[in-house]
């Protein structure tokens, strides 16, 4: 059995990585003061900036990125596992990667995850996003073990828009993840409609905890995000939530024994069966390079 305290840091990142790193440092300190052993920050902790010139001026390789360096120093200073929900780092071909970093108590990177699914959508009221114009999508699902409490816990990774693709989370659950993560910068419009439903569904269908730190409020670049950082148990019950969009910290206790308990009650992962399906057509035709989840 592994019991530990997990914290979700809610931010309102702006266009200056140095200021965002200072905010991260302060809020992570609050989380540690509340007893957290694992702390997660939101998607794009390091910078939220629509101005492409300003954005690219701050873009650096991961090994030279000041926000990644600050996160590593924080993990080491507080002897915690720090999950930098994501930040933008330089990728080949003049693109950026929306990359999550899992950092151990020694300040070393345990693993990374690049956001796979790009938010290319046209919403109501003229709101439009084309992440694929800036970011190179990831190609691999990932899980990693962390030392917590008296044992270990296995985490699965996702970032924001990924949560609309259940096959990603299923692949990670089948690879042994008992805790799924989805740090995000969800728009207010989509968040009001879908945030709670999607996250609870991913937790329930995989009998996993779900931890999702979020950006919240009106940002310097004009975008508005939903907030509501949330922790959900494998039964779909909300354990803790920041009920709004203000920056802050929420801490909850995670008992990993709950995963086995729920999977014994509802063994849907074991009961799944292979089946034949018609080929996707029309709007559902697969995108170029689509990967098939195995298992």
Give tens-digit pLDDT for 21-38: 999 999 999 999 999 999
Burial bucket for residue 133 (CB in 10 Å: 0-12, 13-18, 19+) = exposed
Q: CATH number of the domain that 15 lies in? A: 3.60.110.10
Taking alpha carbons only, the member of 241, 260, 258, 261 closest to residue 3 is 258
214 in Cβ contact with 184 (< 8 Å): yes
Our count of domains for the chain comes to 1
- Specify if 280 maps to a domain: no
Active site residue 49: no
Q: Which of 43, 49, 172, 241 is catalytic?
A: 43
13, 47 Cβ separation under 8 angstroms: yes
Enter the pTM of the model. Answer: 0.94
Residue 128: predicted pLDDT: 66
In terms of Cβ atoms closer than 10 Å to its own Cβ (0-12, 13-18, 19+), residue 189 is: middle
Q: What is the pLDDT of residue 292?
A: 47
Residue tagged active-site, from 49, 60, 115, 241: 115
Q: Domain residues for 20? A: 3-270
Question: Would you say residue 284 lies in a domain?
Answer: no
| Structural domain contains residue 275 | no
Dist CA 137 CA 134 (whole Å): 10
- Tokens linked to 184: 């995000």
Pick from 166, 160, 189, 141: nearest CA to 87: 160
* 52 included as an active-site residue: no
Cα gap 86→148, rounded to integer Å:
22
Q: Roughly how many angstroms between the first and final C-alpha of the chain, as a whole number? A: 26
Residue 205 domain flag: yes
Residue 115 a catalytic site member: yes
pLDDT at 290: 53
Neighbours of 56 (CB within 10 A): 14
Task: Determine, yes or no, domain membership for 290.
Answer: no
Q: How far lies 79's CA from each of 32, 63, 108, 252, in Å?
A: 9, 21, 11, 18
Q: Is residue 181 situated within a structural domain?
A: yes
Q: Is residue 282 part of a domain?
A: no
For 141-161, the pLDDT digits (tens) are: 999 999 987 889 999 999 999
In-domain check, residue 288: no
Catalytic residue among 60, 160, 172, 241: 160
């Amino acid at each position: 059995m592994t019991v530990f305290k997990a914290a979700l840091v809610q931010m309102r990142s702006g266009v200056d990585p140095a200021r965002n790193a200072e905010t991260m440092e302060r809020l992570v300190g609050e989380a540690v003061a509340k007893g957290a052993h694992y702390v997660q920050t939101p998607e794009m902790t390091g910078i939220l900036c629509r101005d492409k010139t300003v954005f690219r001026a701050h873009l650096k390789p991961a090994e030279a990125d000041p926000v990644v360096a600050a996160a590593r120093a924080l993990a080491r200073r507080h002897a915690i596992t720090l999950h930098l929900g994501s930040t933008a780092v330089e990728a080949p071909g003049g693109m950026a990667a929306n990359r999550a970093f899992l950092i151990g108590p020694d300040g070393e990177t345990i693993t990374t995850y690049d956001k796979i699914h790009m938010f290319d959508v046209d919403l109501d009221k003229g709101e439009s996003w084309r992440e694929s114009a800036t970011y190179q999508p990831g190609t691999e699902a990932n899980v990693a073990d962390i030392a917590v409490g008296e044992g270990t816990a296995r985490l699965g990774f996702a970032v924001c828009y990924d949560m609309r693709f259940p096959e990603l989370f299923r692949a990670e659950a089948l690879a042994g993840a008992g805790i799924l993560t989805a740090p995000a910068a969800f728009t207010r419009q989509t968040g009001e409609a879908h945030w709670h439903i999607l996250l609870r569904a991913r937790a329930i269908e995989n009998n996993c905890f779900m931890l999702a730190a979020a950006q919240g409020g009106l940002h310097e670049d004009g975008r508005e995000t939903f907030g509501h950082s949330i922790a959900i148990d494998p039964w779909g019950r909300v354990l803790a939530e920041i009920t709004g969009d203000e920056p802050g910290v929420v801490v909850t206790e995670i008992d990993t024994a709950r995963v086995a308990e729920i999977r014994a009650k509802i063994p849907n992962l074991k009961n799944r069966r292979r089946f034949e399906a018609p080929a996707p057509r029309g709007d559902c035709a697969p995108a170029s390079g689509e990967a098939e989840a195995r298992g």
